[in-house]
Structure 1
Amino acid sequence: MKRFLIAGAMALALATTAQADGIKIGILMGFTGPIESLTTGIAGGAKIAIDEVNQAGQLGHIDVVEADTTCVDAGTATTSAERLVSSEQVVAIVGALCSGSTIASANGVAIPNGVVMVSPASTSPAITGLDDGGLIFRTAPSDARQGQVLAQVLSEKGINTVALSYTNDDYGKGFADAFQGAFEAAGGSVALSAGHENGKADYSAEVAALSATGADHLVVLGYLDQGGKGILEESIKSGAFSSFSGGDGMYGQSLIDALGDGISGMILTAPGGENEGAKMWQAIAGASGLDINGPFQGEAYDAAALILLAMAAGSPDRAGIAGAIMSVANAPGEKILPGQLGKALDIIAAGGDVDYQGASMVELNDAGDPPGAYLEYVMEGSSWKVVRAR
């Protein structure tokens, strides 16, 4: 993907910040489906950024319109995106979450209509190569990197042979390929890599095949509210496995609430960090009443913040946002962290530059991807505990 800065749009920021009363931003996420327990918190992160800018007042009032993708139905994702773009006339979209939803809604709706999408959670490596005309961005890093991180974590713990179950979609396939490549390159062995479907009542056949390999450790790259949980649940019930690991799609309190001690010691990786921006985000989220119990909430704040600052630096319309988003996401400019959006708008209105770093230390490359940092977690007691930053 090629990124182009539109000089005319940038020039609009030289003297004053454009007013955007009546402008709508879409939030396109899986409010139902296999990650529904996470989505309210992720959407809440985006809304905190929008509320912050609305309270600051420099942009006028921004309205939010939500739409559901179900996470797993490309047709629903496309239909919901079409409603946001054509009926609601949103100027940009925060979302989607699941990679397949982002790819479908981007190709089918956003790209043809010149609408920026900034996903806080779509991590499939396939998104990097979209022919998007400079319209599709993300604040969550690609699973090309997360696969390497998870492989490194397991290798360091002396886990050398694993069975691998992944959700049979763009997210799961991309993550599984990245993990297997990195794990085998480090000397590990994947005894079986097999996809699973979401929404099934019985996963005994899938778990039996994984168990038959003789591997002692099961890697589950799925979703915590449906297929991934089902694989773990059957593994525990049958006694097939007792040692588990997974990725960001499995990270959330609902998995612990459902499976309890059965996943004690489970290892996870998910985007995140322990930098200044992450700490400021946690304070802001807590003050806003948002329960930080899952991934991508800070990334959603960042996704909305990038759109809002691009509206100010360019103009509050689709072309203006597309032309300015790379400039506010990257150096040069004054570094902006969570809670400083009003300050950023003042700088832009005065003709200055900002370098938005936010909760996830945003820095977008030419493909619209961030480099990304990760946290390693372990399930202890009744919660996910941070082991270390990666």
Structure 2
Amino acid sequence: MKYLNLAYLRKYRLTSKTLLTLVCLSAGILATSCQGGGSDGKQSSAKDNGLKLGSLSPTTGDLSSIGQNWPIAVKLAVDTINECGGVNEAPVSLVTEDTQTDPSAGSSAMTKLAEVDKVGGVVGAFASSVSGAAVDIAVRDKVMMVSPGSTSPVFTERAKKGEFNGFWARTAPPDTYQSQALAALAEKKGFKNVSIVDINNDYGVGFEQQFAKAFKEKGGNIVGKPVRYDPKAATLDSEAKAAFGSKPDAVAAILYAETGSVLLKSAFEQGLTDGVTILLTDGVYSDDFIRQVGKTADGKSIIAGALGTVPGADGKALKSFTALWKEKTGKELTAYVPHNWDATVLMMLAAEASDANTGEGIKSKILDVANAPGTEVSDACEAMKLVRQGENINFQGASGNVDIDQNGDVVGSYDVWQVGEDGSLSVIDKVNPVSNK
């Protein structure tokens, strides 16, 4: 074994830990010191078994129209990295769970991933209420959680208080910024009087409060009190009437797809939508939502002309990722798919950089691989190659530059979208809120 020098190590791309194992085996040593993971050998076991990741996606429930493609994007990232050598010299495995867009189901799924499957990291969830329920479990069990879609400002506030201990991040920007984008859109369109209706959860209420503040700062007027609806209510007729009845210039509707479609259809059937522009957000950006709302007697979309905002994707890797997505799935790119890809790739890069397949390992390096300084690289396999060689990198994602700050937040751009008379969705503009960090 004396000939296993540095040149040999480089030639065969062996890590120092692999060399230690060879030395121990050669000497017939079975002592704890050669197990590589401390006295209990836990880290060694994690390395030997390979990195295991989990996915928490809403493939059923109120956000399923957007969430169907999420686990596909996560698996595509895992498959891509496995095809170029895996992480820490072993293939990455993936366990996928459906949150049902329900905090209780999401909490149970997170508990399973953390305590039964023993994952090191989790991509998810989407609904902020689900992530809010799951993140405490992740922190307790030291599992890194990166959400590609939970946008409530509550997570920033909790992170500032130190509640997450670094085990939380997201690749979608918080609604602190999207609310500013929607307020800027309302101002640009000349709306003076806007009412608000929102789903009564962390996402809806957080967005509502931030939007109201931003719109008032621009000189706008919020009509009446914001209307908060219970997603489990039998009907939403009274909520629709309260939001639209005063005939504002526009209604900022912060909704989820299934329940939101019921509310807007009710407003139309009550004759309340004529002359009122509907302002929508990312929670309903899907063709399924438009179909759920329905059509008029002459075949036009009930909400034709509605405008909305959604976190856009403008990263250096977007073009190549879009081509890969179409090649592997045959589908068009949908909302938050690039954010899922980026979240998954970042965790795999961090695990490699830390030389550990654990949540603590991922946590310790995720900001390093996401931010400067380091070589800017957008190709996932090239990024992994550089990390294996011990180089510092600044990963440039498909969704954006994914520069994650100490609170786990990124700043993104926003697409402005519009509903056509035929129910089609089209991006018509972009808006970039000014960062207030």
Q: Same fold (TM over 0.5)?
A: yes
Q: Does 1:137 align with 2:169?
A: yes
Q: Does 1:244 align with 2:273?
A: no
Q: Equivalent pairs: percent with the same residue?
A: 28
C-alpha distance in 1 between matches for 2:239 and 2:14: 59
Deviation at 1:201, TM superposition (A): 4.1
Q: Does 1:150 align with 2:150?
A: no
Secondary structure at the aligned position of 1:124 is classed as: coil
Matched-pair contact (CA < 8 Å) for 2:138–2:145: yes
**Structure 1 pair 16/186, CA: closer, same or farther in 2 (3 Å)?**
farther
Deviation at 1:329, TM superposition (A): 0.7
Matched-pair contact (CA < 8 Å) for 2:50–2:357: no
Provide Cα deviations, 1:251-299, integer angstroms capped at 9, x if missing partner.
Answer: 0110122224111111110101345333333222212215346321110
Structure number with bigger Rg: 2
C-alpha distance in 2 between matches for 1:137 and 1:96: 11
Q: Does 1:70 align with 2:100?
A: yes
Number of the residue aligned with 2:198 = 166
C-alpha distance in 2 between matches for 1:367 and 1:384: 33
**Structure 1 pair 178/229, CA: closer, same or farther in 2 (3 Å)?**
same
**Structure 1 pair 382/21, CA: closer, same or farther in 2 (3 Å)?**
farther
Deviation at 1:302, TM superposition (A): 0.6
Secondary structure at the aligned position of 1:268 is classed as: strand
Q: Does 1:54 align with 2:82?
A: yes
Number of the residue aligned with 1:40 = 68
Runs of 4+ off more than 6 Å: 16-20
State the AA in 2 paired with 1:63: S
Counting only pairs closer than 5 Å after superposition, residues 159-198 of structure 1 correspond to structure 2 as: 159-192=191-224, 193-198=226-231
TM-score normalised according to structure 1 size: 0.91
Deviation at 1:146, TM superposition (A): 0.4
Matched-pair contact (CA < 8 Å) for 1:24–1:90: yes
Q: Does 1:218 align with 2:251?
A: yes
Number of the residue aligned with 1:264 = 304
Number of the residue aligned with 1:80 = 109
State the AA in 2 paired with 1:346: K
Secondary structure at the aligned position of 1:332 is classed as: coil
C-alpha distance in 2 between matches for 1:97 and 1:282: 21
Q: Does 1:289 align with 2:305?
A: no
**Structure 1 pair 149/90, CA: closer, same or farther in 2 (3 Å)?**
same
C-alpha distance in 1 between matches for 2:395 and 2:321: 13
RCO comparison, higher one (Cα < 8 Å, 6+): 1
TM-score normalised according to structure 2 size: 0.81
Deviation at 1:198, TM superposition (A): 1.5
Pairwise CA RMSD of aligned residues?
2.0
Show structure 1 runs of 5+ residues with no match: 1-12
Show structure 2 runs of 5+ residues with no match: 1-12, 19-46, 296-300, 432-437
Q: Does 1:299 align with 2:339?
A: yes
Secondary structure at the aligned position of 1:263 is classed as: coil
Provide Cα deviations, 1:219-274, integer angstroms capped at 9, x if missing partner.
Answer: 210111x2211111112222211421111001011012222411111111010134
Q: How many matched pairs?
A: 373
1:280 corresponds to which of 320, 328, 347 = 320
C-alpha distance in 2 between matches for 1:17 and 1:49: 26
State the AA in 2 paired with 1:67: E
Deviation at 1:21, TM superposition (A): 5.0
